[in-house]
Chains A and B, each alone.
Chain A
């Protein structure tokens, strides 16, 4: 079975631009979450979606938005990019949203803002 796939793997953007990151969960998984990992720190929660509905939002500005599609894939959008948005963006999928469920992470998208 394919794991969680994210695209692109790397990209470079200029300050003020917009970026869209994509995630395909493991087949059968209905929950997708997004995390931001700045160099040297643990991942920070951005969003969780389950059955196409937002179920959780972390402490990130409104420039960050996401959505989940009928096939359970997801997009993370970031507007008006800042240098501080440079990070590894991780997507995780789960069968369900309960705390006893393990999350499976993709390899991430490395975003560099210049």
Chain B
């Protein structure tokens, strides 16, 4: 399983943008980059995914480096509800939808 590296924790102020980095230097050409988050006492929640191009949805943006060895999840205006553990995951399409979770990044949002 391809590995990702994320900072253990990050802190942000409310209403400010947050950039959550993820390194995946061993990514293969077919791996999708997925982000999930887990709020306290809840199951993980899908945030966004991409393959090569940058992606936007109502929750966040995903910026993917040209060489695909790193990516950044961007929350445009952090709110207290965004405080969660954020997981960056690589998904090999040939092995179905098994998700390999690492330790993730704990995001703290200050008011």
Contact = CB atoms under 8 A, between A and B. Distances in A.
Q: How large is the interface on A (under 10, 10 to 19, 20 to 34, 35 or more residues)?
A: 20 to 34
Interface stretch (A60-68, A72-80, A98-106): A98-106
A42 interface: yes
Nearest to A42: B101
Contacts of B98: 33, 45, 48, 56, 58
Contacts of B43: 4, 90, 92, 105-108
Contact of B49 (A45, A50, A102, A107): A102
Interface string B98-110: 1111111000000
A100 B49 contact: yes
Contacts, number: 77
B51 interface: yes
A92 B97 CA distance: 10
Interface string B65-97: 000000000000000000001010001111111
A94 interface: yes
A33 B97 contact: yes
Interface of A: 4, 31, 33, 35, 41-45, 48, 50, 55-56, 58, 90, 92, 94, 96-108
